[in-house]
Structure 1
Amino acid sequence: MIEDTMTLLSLLGRIMRYFLLRPETLFLLCISLALWSYFFHTDEVKTIVKSSRDAVKMVKGKVAEIMQNDRLGGLDVLEAEFSKTWEFKSHNVAVYSIQGRRDHMEDRFEVLTDLANKTHPSIFGIFDGHGGETAAEYVKSRLPEALKHHLQDYEKDKENSVLSYQTILEQQILSIDREMLEKLTVSYDEAGTTCLIALLSDKDLTVANVGDSRGVLCDKDGNAIPLSHDHKPYQLKERKRIKRADPDILTFDLDKLQPEFMILASDGLWDAFSNEEAVRFIKERLDEPHFGAKSIVLQSFYRGCPDNITVMVVKFRNSSKTEEQ
């Protein structure tokens, strides 16, 4: 059920919307109609050309209004257009999330930390619903809490346990998937969701992923290190993996990488940014109130992203700009 409902048709629709909404597409359309009008001089075409010119002027005016803001950090002018905007900030983590151009908000996120007593690793999650918000909301409300309780039990007797962060992640993701299948099948709800979960301890970062939400880390040298691999349902191998809800799970040595920050985001961001572009963009904006998460979300919207966009930025302790914890 997780990520099961995304099809090749929806992917093609997303690509078409992405290109049709870009200002340069409207500009080329206007030029084409102007040439047609020049050669054929029809009143109907002239009317279309005038309307297209007006549309282009409107888009160019909006772009000019956006670009005059320093580093796109003051994009409040766009926020009135968002039907739903969520934001979160606590210690070393910040999240900014918008509904954007979609009719519904299907993204969800969760942060569970215990910085004082450290009874469990910090838990960070991104969930991008498809075919509705039901599955994303269900996994968001159930999976992090289930992980928290199992991790607390594990931390009490870690040395004698046969489990690990990887096995706990896999077991709980599969358990929640089975549980959700039973409940949603009864109500004939066909919604699915991606699942990107990161567990952060003192020494290690463990990341589990199902779907095409993505994580990337900035190491001590400013390099972009992928934390996950996208699962695309139009690839037969990945479609089978998604149907089984098999997560990819990777573990990273924090002492070796000495990371500055990581980005966890729904695919709305990755439609507009590469891993390397996103890392460079955030690195220059870590001193902003949302550690650059708000700026990169709004920049993705400006670039024409048609999807919901959710970005989480987590700063690590060895970052010179990390707040006191």
Structure 2
Amino acid sequence: MTLLSRIMRSVLLRPETLFLLCVSLALWSYLYHTDEVKTIVKSSRDAVGKVVEMIQNDEEFSNTWQYRSHSAAVYSIQGRREHMEDRFHILTDTLNKSHPDIYGVFDGHGGQSASEYVKSRLPLMLRQQLQKESSVQSHQSILTQQIFNMDREMLDKLSASYDEAGTTCLVALLSDKQLTVANVGDSRAVLCDKDGNAVQLSHDHKPYQLKERKRIKKAGGFISFNGSWRVQGVLAMSRSLGDYLLKKHNVLISDPDVTTFDLDKLRPQFMILASDGLWDAFSNEEAVHFIKQRLNEPHFGAKSIVLQSFNRGCPDNITVMVVKFKKRAVKAAGQ
């Protein structure tokens, strides 16, 4: 028996024997289970085809929004989320060029009511104040004050109906020589300068950051890890508009970071304003490089980078706004 066992092992475990066995099994499966094999192959092909078709065909995405003008384009998809909570707004004054253009991206959470409210109200509030003040030096103070006003107004409205929704707020004011960016939350703005380098225009507000963590702890709150660091184990950002329950406990604030940039120095090519759905899939440098190669597309690359983010597995709503800058003359030495 021992000798027989050794002989069987030496025969069955030889590479050529195993190869012939695999070939035999494959032939048997094909000859006697052809229908089942065809069904499996067809089902797999249909599933793959549906994903490809969904990526290529706008109508396959529920709540797909897009916008195009001569200088700005937006592409926004619901993606894999159950609800579409992203919003965006572009407000330009074609009659009075002295007024800055207003660009905004608002990434809602806990429902769409907060992002929808900010989208419909904040750009108009900003426009009214900007029309009263012609000095570009006042843009920072106007943005800060109107964002605070917006938050107070929204908290009164949403808390009255026990609506716990909140939203990020990313707004850019673009005048002839100056760009001012305000941010609350983790939506992000990135610019491509004259040399093709990525310049981050906004500051993400995340609970794990030392400054934010100290502030939350001082207010009596905490952060915990649940897939990502979250305030009170709930919210993955440390600042927002809305979220009245967390504001009630003072662990969340609406203070914006506001920064101004000199366009004559940067001589930018374009800027990207996007919800964190993009930045979960792309670094700043990757996004700038990707868009730079696709500025001649109808959406200036916004549609392509949104679909690529989805293809990389992003589970979130994805909104990308690309704003092209006009070419600026190079100043002569001594000017």
Equivalent position of 2:110 in the other structure:
131
> Residue 187 of structure 1: which of 161, 169, 172 is its match?
161
CA displacement at 1:237 relative to structure 2: 3.6
Q: Is it true that 1:208 corresponds to 2:182 in the alignment?
A: yes
Give 3-state SS (helix, strand or coil) of 2:203's partner: coil
Counterpart Cα distance in 1 of 2:167 and 2:106: 6
Gaps of 5+ in 2: 1-36, 217-237, 240-251, 330-335
Q: Is it true that 1:218 corresponds to 2:192 in the alignment?
A: yes
Give 3-state SS (helix, strand or coil) of 2:132's partner: helix
Counterpart Cα distance in 2 of 1:92 and 1:203: 16
**Residues 171-190 of structure 1, C-alpha deviation per residue, up to 9 Å, x if partnerless?**
00001001111111110000
Equivalent position of 2:306 in the other structure:
297
CA displacement at 1:76 relative to structure 2: 2.1
Worse-matched range after superposition: 236-245 or 182-191: 236-245
> Residue 285 of structure 1: which of 284, 288, 294 is its match?
294
Give 3-state SS (helix, strand or coil) of 2:62's partner: coil
For the structure 1 residues 141 and 171, does the alpha-carbon distance in structure 2 shift closer, same or farther, using more than 3 Å as the test?
same
Equivalent position of 1:314 in the other structure:
323
Q: Is it true that 1:263 corresponds to 2:272 in the alignment?
A: yes
Equivalent position of 2:212 in the other structure:
238
Task: Tell me which amino acid in the other structure corresponds to 1:266.
Answer: S
TM-score by length of 2: 0.71
For the structure 1 residues 308 and 319, does the alpha-carbon distance in structure 2 shift closer, same or farther, using more than 3 Å as the test?
farther
CA displacement at 1:300 relative to structure 2: 0.6
For the structure 1 residues 298 and 58, does the alpha-carbon distance in structure 2 shift closer, same or farther, using more than 3 Å as the test?
same
Counterpart Cα distance in 2 of 1:308 and 1:75: 14
> Residue 95 of structure 1: which of 69, 74, 90 is its match?
74
> Residue 178 of structure 1: which of 144, 149, 152 is its match?
152
CA displacement at 1:119 relative to structure 2: 4.4
Counterpart Cα distance in 2 of 1:61 and 1:212: 33
User: RMSD of the alignment, in Å?
Assistant: 2.6
**Residues 9-31 of structure 1, C-alpha deviation per residue, up to 9 Å, x if partnerless?**
xxxxxxxxxxxxxxxxxxxxxxx
Worse-matched range after superposition: 82-91 or 143-152: 82-91
TM-score by length of 1: 0.73
Task: Tell me which amino acid in the other structure corresponds to 2:81.
Answer: R
**Residues 57-104 of structure 1, C-alpha deviation per residue, up to 9 Å, x if partnerless?**
5599459958xxxxxxx9524x34311100011220000000111110
For the structure 1 residues 247 and 297, does the alpha-carbon distance in structure 2 shift closer, same or farther, using more than 3 Å as the test?
same
Counterpart Cα distance in 1 of 2:177 and 2:328: 15
Contact 2:264 2:328 in 1 (8 A): no
**Residues 250-294 of structure 1, C-alpha deviation per residue, up to 9 Å, x if partnerless?**
111100000000000001111111100000000000000010101
Give 3-state SS (helix, strand or coil) of 1:174's partner: helix
Equivalent position of 1:34 in the other structure:
none
RCO comparison, higher one (Cα < 8 Å, 6+)? 1
Task: Tell me which amino acid in the other structure corresponds to 1:84.
Answer: N
Give 3-state SS (helix, strand or coil) of 2:327's partner: coil
Gaps of 5+ in 1: 1-49, 67-73, 321-325
Contact 2:72 2:324 in 1 (8 A): yes
| Number of corresponding residues | 256
Task: Tell me which amino acid in the other structure corresponds to 2:86.
Answer: D
Equivalent position of 1:8 in the other structure:
none
Counterpart Cα distance in 1 of 2:202 and 2:268: 16
For the structure 1 residues 179 and 55, does the alpha-carbon distance in structure 2 shift closer, same or farther, using more than 3 Å as the test?
farther
For the structure 1 residues 65 and 189, does the alpha-carbon distance in structure 2 shift closer, same or farther, using more than 3 Å as the test?
closer
Counterpart Cα distance in 1 of 2:128 and 2:295: 32
Counterpart Cα distance in 2 of 1:64 and 1:99: 15
Which structure has the larger Rg? 2
Q: Is it true that 1:199 corresponds to 2:173 in the alignment?
A: yes
Contact 2:98 2:175 in 1 (8 A): no
For the structure 1 residues 65 and 215, does the alpha-carbon distance in structure 2 shift closer, same or farther, using more than 3 Å as the test?
same
Worse-matched range after superposition: 301-310 or 115-124: 115-124
> Residue 76 of structure 1: which of 56, 61, 70 is its match?
56
Give 3-state SS (helix, strand or coil) of 1:124's partner: strand
